[in-house]
Amino acid sequence: MAQHAMSAQAIRDLVKKKGMLGKQLYIVHTTPTGDLDAVLAVIEDHLAFQVDLESRGIMFAAGPNWTEDEQEWRGDGTVVIRANSMNQAREIMEADPMHKSGARRYEIRPWLVNEGKLTVEISYSSGAVKVL
């Protein structure tokens, strides 16, 4: 019989055994509930909220999603956060002005980061930092 699911703990055990990162994060996909006017009405408060999450070490990454042809933004975005649980991730997202105002709805999925590479370039003379 074909296996169609595997427990999250079995995956955690596998990546731990292989020495992979195994860092639990939460991916949030947020979409408008109506037109862009409602989104734009709270965009400044939303961005301030995002920067606050970043300063507190909660925000891993965030930004808008373009259409597939890379020509338009229709108000949706992706947020990746650090949280101790799905409940805490929901609490964080409920506090976002976009969601509090009803301009957007969100969906959260746990994400176990195992593979990848982050490369940072720092110029000592100018203080410039670049993520490659």
**What is the tens place of the pLDDT at every residue in 40-51?**
999 999 999 999
pLDDT band with cut points at 50, 70 and 90 for residue 67: very high
Q: Identity (one letter) of the amino acid at 60?
A: F
As a whole number of angstroms, the distance between CA 40 and CA 76 comes to: 12
Domain boundaries, the chain: 8-131
The predicted pLDDT at position 1 comes to 77
CATH superfamily of 8-131: Dimeric alpha+beta barrel (3.30.70.1060)
**What is the tens place of the pLDDT at every residue in 77-115?**
999 999 999 999 999 999 999 999 999 999 999 999 999
Q: Residues 111-132: what's their mean pLDDT?
A: 92
Residue 131 pLDDT exceeds 90: no
Residue 73 pLDDT exceeds 80: yes
